[in-house]
Amino acid sequence: MPLATPSAVHLPLRPPAGQFYDLPHSLRPRTNPGVMAIYIHIPFCTVKCHYCDFFSVAGHLDQAPALLAALAMELRLQIQHFGSISPETIFIGGGTPTLLPPPLLQNLMTTLHQHIDFSALDEFTIEANPNTFDADCAAILHAAGVNRISFGAQSFVPTELLVLQRDHNPDNVAQAVRLARAAGIDNINLDLIFAIPGQTQNTWDYSLNQALALEPQHLSCYALMYEPNTPLTARLKSGHIQAAPESLEITLAQHTQAKLAAAGFPRYEISNYARPGRECRHNLHYWHSSNHLAIGPSAWAHYQGIRWKNVPAINRYTTALLADTPRPPIIEMEHLSARQRAGELAVLLLRLRTGLHWMEFQHRTGINAAQILSQVLQKYDGLGYLDVGPQHLALTDQAMMVSDTILADVLAAFG
Ligand code: SF4
């Protein structure tokens, strides 16, 4: 799953109706070693899952050739502006990038190789829906240097997949993992969702066992969210489904952490577990607030404290980029103050098991976090939620279920 934009302190600015922002000022306009990661958004899916609020559309693959031409143009514009880039990580998400027919998938890979310097790349991930993955797709990806695949498994229980309105079945996941490995791609993530209506501790445990049996390197386990304006939320409001009780959600979260730790997958972020050394490097760049560029409709980027987001509409995106005078399709731009940047960095670092290192934080931001957070430390003193040491601050396992509240307090302290 693509990561959400970090919680903003102030609402982003919007340009006048129908207009777009320019790319922000670049520090290094010829070559830019400061860009650590790049994200590419492919917004097509077979169907729209009922819980999903990412920007994606069901079908409309007839728009894919224009979208790929626009992506290539956006990449060219960014490289002209920021300088040539040699990122450590590339992440192609969506949507379902593997829904692209093989010639178009090949076209996308060729575009990336034409424009990006791959010499520093050590992780190249693509997201895949298990039923959109075949041997041709795997071969194209492996030949292009993709070395990590994130499959949306979500559950291994058919009735739970039905509640989510996923259009794959559990057998598709095992088959997709086999095909990826056969092609030589052996770094596999499985996305799973817990607290699905009707789920029990037994069925969740069954899904975890099925996932572990496939020997992935990484597992992302998210509690089901009822996002505004999704069919799932409408079904909840109309009484057609019932949300899992909070007590069950807490039990499932605790069970996940204990079971996966025992299986050799320590938690390294609130929702993410990995074999040691197999943590997602791309997402670690987000959580360390590194500079990252992003292309595609709805994609958001961050560079030196400026965050911006592309228009979440395929037509407007392609029209802007394929015009006689192409321009970046940016509809939101946010300039963070030094204090806001520091607050967001603190929140992102505290999502990680490693937490916030006091001295490194001060070195990077010029801000004494211990001083700023003194009241927060006092508020949670003795509750077992904070691991406070002379070197660092981290959330404990016990804090994970109330992490939203604690992180909101941390952000507010940087006000
Ligand atoms: S496959 Fe992923 S991006 Fe597409 S609708 Fe489902 S959850 Fe959303």
Q: What is the C-alpha separation between 85 and 76, in angstroms, rounded?
A: 11
Does the 35-287 domain belong in CATH 3.90.1150.10?
A: no
CA-proximal residue: ligand 1, atom 5 (nearest): 48
Distance 262 CA to ligand 1 centre (A): 30
User: pTM, whole model, 2 decimals?
Assistant: 0.94
Q: Whose CA is nearest to atom 3 of ligand 1?
A: 95
State which ligand 1 atom lies nearest to the alpha carbon of 47: 5
Order of strands across the sheet that contains 291-295: 267-269, 272-274, 218-223, 187-194, 148-154, 123-128, 89-94, 35-42, 291-295, 300-303, 306-310, 330-335
Interval between CA 264 and ligand 1 midpoint (Å): 29
3-state secondary structure the chain: CCCCCCCCCCCCECCCCCCCECCCCCCCCCECCCEEEEEEEECEECCCCCCCCCCCEECCHHHHHHHHHHHHHHHHHHHHHHCECCCCEEEEEECCHHHCCHHHHHHHHHHHHHHCCCCCCCEEEEEECHHHCCHHHHHHHHHCCCCEEEEEEECCCHHHHHHHCCCCCHHHHHHHHHHHHHHCCCEEEEEEEECCCCCCHHHHHHHHHHHHHCCCCEEEEEECCCCCCCHHHHHHHCCCCCCCCHHHHHHHHHHHHHHHHHCCCCEEECCEEECCCCCCHHHHHHHCCCEEEEECCCCEEEECCEEEEECCCHHHHHHHHCCCCCCCCEEEEEECCHHHHHHHHHHHHHCECCCEEHHHHHHHHCCCHHHHCHHHHHHCCCCCCEEECCCEEEECHHHHHHHHHHHHHHHHHHC
Ligand 1 centre from 45 Cα, in Å?
A: 6
**Nearest to residue 130, comparing CAs of 122, 119, 138?**
138
**pLDDT tens figures, 140-199:** 999 999 999 999 999 999 999 999 999 999 999 999 999 999 999 999 999 999 999 999
Answer yes or no: is pLDDT of 12 > 90.
no
| CA-based end-to-end distance of the chain | 29
pLDDT of residue 16 exceeding 90, the answer is no
CB 307 within 8 A of CB 12: yes
pLDDT-based confidence at residue 405 (cuts at 50, 70, 90): very high
Give the domain 338-414 fold.
Arc Repressor Mutant, subunit A (1.10.10)
Please state the atom number of ligand 1 nearest to the C-alpha of residue 94.
3
Distance in Å, CA 53 to ligand 1 centroid: 8
The overall average pLDDT reported for the chain is 94
* Band of pLDDT at residue 8, cut at 50, 70 and 90: very low
Domain ranges of the chain: 35-287, 338-414
Residue nearest to atom 7 of ligand 1 (CA): 52
**How far is CA 116 from its chain centroid?**
21
pLDDT at position 27:
74
> Closest residue (by CA) to atom 6 of ligand 1?
49
Pocket of ligand 1 (CB under 6 A): 45, 48-49, 52, 54, 56, 94-96, 129, 152
What is the tens place of the pLDDT at every residue in 240-295?
A: 999 999 999 999 999 999 999 999 999 999 999 999 999 999 999 999 999 999 99
Residue among 49, 154, 173 to mutate when testing ligand 1 (max atoms within 8 A of CB)? 49
Of all protein residues, the one whose alpha carbon is nearest to atom 2 of ligand 1 is: 95
Compute CA 64 distance to the chain's CA centroid, rounded to the nearest angstrom: 22
In the reported structure, the alpha carbon of residue 58 is separated from the centroid of ligand 1 by a whole-number distance in angstroms of 9
Place of tokens 């069954």: 206
Express each pLDDT in 220-247 by its tens digit: 999 999 999 999 999 999 999 999 999 9
pLDDT tens sequence across 110-130: 999 999 999 999 999 999 999
